[in-house]
Chain A
């Protein structure tokens, strides 16, 4: 990496306080690593000798694999913690687990937990102990999933300018997020980044999954029906609908949800002709997105999201590793 970047953030826990400069730094750094991933040798020594610990208290395959590959492409050593094989059931606290990995020499911890706030708690503990460990939130409860939102941002911006992605490109673009907003950490993180980028953000879902409190995110428009949300949209993001929402009295049936909010090629005809579809995965085919649309290469950006995920996570690990300070 030859470019000079300014990066002062010790941990990446949420995008709530991200500045436009920080977004652009991530986008530019990710673009550089995207180039690395097209080389014959897809590996750089940027994090050689450093240890990245993936502490996934909540099971995950896709995000953990993406982080693991990103760390390996940066030549870091990786450690994977999985709750099934852990000591958490033996009376150990989450902080004990973090301390253990710190004692093993972890420089960066990538943390996922089913409850909000855990990465923040570990970051505070690591700071108090002056460990210098960097925390990267890989998804906490319904709170935040910043690396997903940043790879979404990268995917959106590179659609508009492949060479020089920057968040100004999204100024005034209409972006609709559809589905179970209430339970989505992906939606929350995307709200911070897309609003900061100046996009015209529209949310749609049934009132039980899109409560009016989301209006507290300034600059977003709420819809309880699909059509006005996606009319003339430049991009549409679908969210995964968890099957258990029916038993919690949030929806009458999957059928009615599909009828009202399921995305099909036909429904997207009210969008801009160039509309693209994003989905954080894994997708419920035939529920939030029709199977035909899921496989439509002219509309779906889902494969690009996955590919970009590695470059963006390389960028985040690189920026957080803070080699400048240690040199």
Chain B
């Protein structure tokens, strides 16, 4: 596997490539001409092309908008042994993500304009870095950050990336952030119902003998948060939804006209409590994997757009940190380099979803959740594209992963499908 090139020749024709563009609902085989970083022409057969155009036969491959990740964790600053900004950027590019939104739980956390500026300064060329600024100082859930000053930075929104327990604080945050024009993202989880559970309550958790939390850990908190959003009309995104009932609550909130968007993670779509028998610490997640019924409801909700986006929630940990008992493992796992091939195989290759449905949930919808224009694969648009080949097989190992960490349940597995090329916007 060669490195994904970050720059393209100035004039290039992709012959008979499968073009996907969720915004225009395009899914067609075509010739695509790219000139100076822009899509100049898309047609079934292009004959009239400039001289010195590089021609690439791309039959069987997919040219589509770059992926947009809604939330990922960076090791740097604070845990460079897990992931550096360089390795994070490389992992994002290798996985097809042209925009990456990093959560503020670095050390120090992203709770000040200085910390945000520093991250942008240290970010290497590559995928576009977007940042969630912290909602509370030190992510302590007690006192709000200087949201007005933070809003003037180029952060895309505000989130602590973890549950807030004080509903009065949430209510004040929603009020205070109203004029700021950036979304707030929340994790719905009731601390008391959670009660240190590491699995979703149900027959599988009982048989595995794992401490479990009920689905109401998420849904009770989600219902409460939705009541607050109904009172204060600030745009809110709900992260990491993991239960069937959450889908119903979000659908009802949207039917009421509340300004809410939602996401789940790729792992909650691919695995459920039936995987607990392996006690793989890489599948210890927060919220925990749902029961099979939850997973089916989440997949249906993504397909229907009730849950707009799939996030990687990329969370690197070192070997030492994850070579522990399931219940002792820190929650989260790698995602950036694995999500697209595994989701493609599970949902698109199987015929469950259309290719456009998957691409919408990984690209245009997450961009819109952030209030940003989605990447396009259309004539006249700047090329923020990836070339994905769903066929080649590769082994998930240290040699193939750009991430510094290897904490994934698929370590050693052979995956099918890999990103071949990436076109990035020049910044």
B207 and A116 contacting across the interface, CB-CB below 8 Å: no
Return B286 CB to nearest CB of chain A, in Å.
17
How far apart are the CA atoms of A143 and B327 in the complex, in Å?
A: 12
B392 touches A (CB below 8 Å): no
A141 and B209 contacting across the interface, CB-CB below 8 Å: yes
Give the most central of B201, B208, B211, B279: most A CB within 10 Å. B279
How far apart are the CA atoms of A37 and B256 in the complex, in Å?
A: 75
B207 and A94 contacting across the interface, CB-CB below 8 Å: no
A121 and B206 contacting across the interface, CB-CB below 8 Å: no
* B179-210 contacts to A (CB < 8 Å): 195, 201-203, 205-210
With A94-B323, A121-B279, A213-B203: A248-B195 Cβ-Cβ less than 8 Å: yes
B328 touches A (CB below 8 Å): yes
Q: Which residue of A lies closest to B214 (CB)?
A: A211
A113 and B325 contacting across the interface, CB-CB below 8 Å: yes
How far apart are the CA atoms of A121 and B210 in the complex, in Å?
A: 15
A141 and B327 contacting across the interface, CB-CB below 8 Å: yes
A117 touches B (CB below 8 Å): yes
Which A residues are CB-close (under 8 A) to B203?
213, 216
Which B residues are CB-close (under 8 A) to A95?
323
Pairs A-B, 8 closest by C-beta atoms: A117-B279, A143-B209, A115-B325, A216-B203, A142-B209, A93-B323, A213-B206, A116-B209
B326 touches A (CB below 8 Å): yes
A282 touches B (CB below 8 Å): no
B327 and A116 contacting across the interface, CB-CB below 8 Å: yes
A211 and B210 contacting across the interface, CB-CB below 8 Å: no
Q: Contact mask B211-233 → A, CB, 8 Å, 1/0?
A: 10000000000000000000000
Contact of A216 (CB < 8 Å), options: B201, B206, B278, B325: B206
How far apart are the CA atoms of A94 and B328 in the complex, in Å?
A: 12
How far apart are the CA atoms of A118 and B327 in the complex, in Å?
A: 10
Return B362 CB to nearest CB of chain A, in Å.
32
A102 touches B (CB below 8 Å): no
B195 and A185 contacting across the interface, CB-CB below 8 Å: no
A214 and B323 contacting across the interface, CB-CB below 8 Å: no
Contact of A94 (CB < 8 Å), options: B209, B211, B324: B324
Give the most central of A91, A113, A121, A188: most B CB within 10 Å. A121
Return B222 CB to nearest CB of chain A, in Å.
22
B210 and A94 contacting across the interface, CB-CB below 8 Å: no
B166 touches A (CB below 8 Å): no
B149 touches A (CB below 8 Å): no
A140 touches B (CB below 8 Å): yes
How far apart are the CA atoms of A214 and B207 in the complex, in Å?
A: 8
How far apart are the CA atoms of A140 and B325 in the complex, in Å?
A: 10
A116 and B202 contacting across the interface, CB-CB below 8 Å: no
Which A residues are CB-close (under 8 A) to B328?
115
How far apart are the CA atoms of A118 and B210 in the complex, in Å?
A: 12
Contact of A140 (CB < 8 Å), options: B201, B202, B207, B209: B209
B48 touches A (CB below 8 Å): no
Q: Can you show 20 pairs from A to B with CB atoms below 8 A apart?
A: A93-B323, A93-B324, A94-B324, A95-B323, A115-B328, A116-B279, A117-B278, A117-B325, A118-B325, A120-B278, A121-B279, A140-B209, A141-B210, A142-B211, A143-B209, A144-B209, A182-B206, A188-B207, A211-B201, A213-B203
Q: Which residue of B lies closest to A215 (CB)?
A: B203
Which B residues are CB-close (under 8 A) to A217?
207
How far apart are the CA atoms of A214 and B202 in the complex, in Å?
A: 9
Chain A contributes a number of interface residues (CB within 8 A of B) equal to 27
A16 and B207 contacting across the interface, CB-CB below 8 Å: yes
B324 and A143 contacting across the interface, CB-CB below 8 Å: no
Return A139 CB to nearest CB of chain B, in Å.
10
Return B93 CB to nearest CB of chain A, in Å.
32
How far apart are the CA atoms of A144 and B210 in the complex, in Å?
A: 11
With A91-B320, A213-B203, A248-B195: A143-B325 Cβ-Cβ less than 8 Å: no
B208 and A121 contacting across the interface, CB-CB below 8 Å: no
Q: Contact mask A122-135 → B, CB, 8 Å, 1/0?
A: 00000000000000
Which B residues are CB-close (under 8 A) to A91?
320
Q: Contact mask A171-189 → B, CB, 8 Å, 1/0?
A: 0000000000010010010
Return A130 CB to nearest CB of chain B, in Å.
16
Contact of B326 (CB < 8 Å), options: A115, A144, A248: A115
B209 and A213 contacting across the interface, CB-CB below 8 Å: no
Which B residues are CB-close (under 8 A) to A211?
201, 206
A214 and B206 contacting across the interface, CB-CB below 8 Å: yes
Q: Which residue of B lies closest to A145 (CB)?
A: B209
Which A residues are CB-close (under 8 A) to B207?
16, 188, 216-217
B325 and A188 contacting across the interface, CB-CB below 8 Å: no
How far apart are the CA atoms of A117 and B326 in the complex, in Å?
A: 7
How far apart are the CA atoms of A157 and B358 in the complex, in Å?
A: 57
Contact of A116 (CB < 8 Å), options: B195, B208, B324: B208
How far apart are the CA atoms of A118 and B209 in the complex, in Å?
A: 12
Which A residues are CB-close (under 8 A) to B325?
94, 113-118, 121, 141
How far apart are the CA atoms of A180 and B202 in the complex, in Å?
A: 17
Return B307 CB to nearest CB of chain A, in Å.
27
With A91-B320, A115-B326, A248-B195: A185-B202 Cβ-Cβ less than 8 Å: no
Q: Contact mask A282-306 → B, CB, 8 Å, 1/0?
A: 0000000000000000000000000
With A121-B279, A213-B201, A216-B203: A185-B209 Cβ-Cβ less than 8 Å: yes
How far apart are the CA atoms of A117 and B323 in the complex, in Å?
A: 12
With A113-B325, A116-B279: A93-B320 Cβ-Cβ less than 8 Å: yes
Return A271 CB to nearest CB of chain B, in Å.
27
Q: Contact mask A76-101 → B, CB, 8 Å, 1/0?
A: 00000000000000010111000000
Which A residues are CB-close (under 8 A) to B201?
211, 213
Which A residues are CB-close (under 8 A) to B205?
213
Contact of A115 (CB < 8 Å), options: B195, B206, B320, B327: B327
Return B154 CB to nearest CB of chain A, in Å.
40
Q: Which residue of B lies closest to A93 (CB)?
A: B323
* A240-268 contacts to B (CB < 8 Å): 248
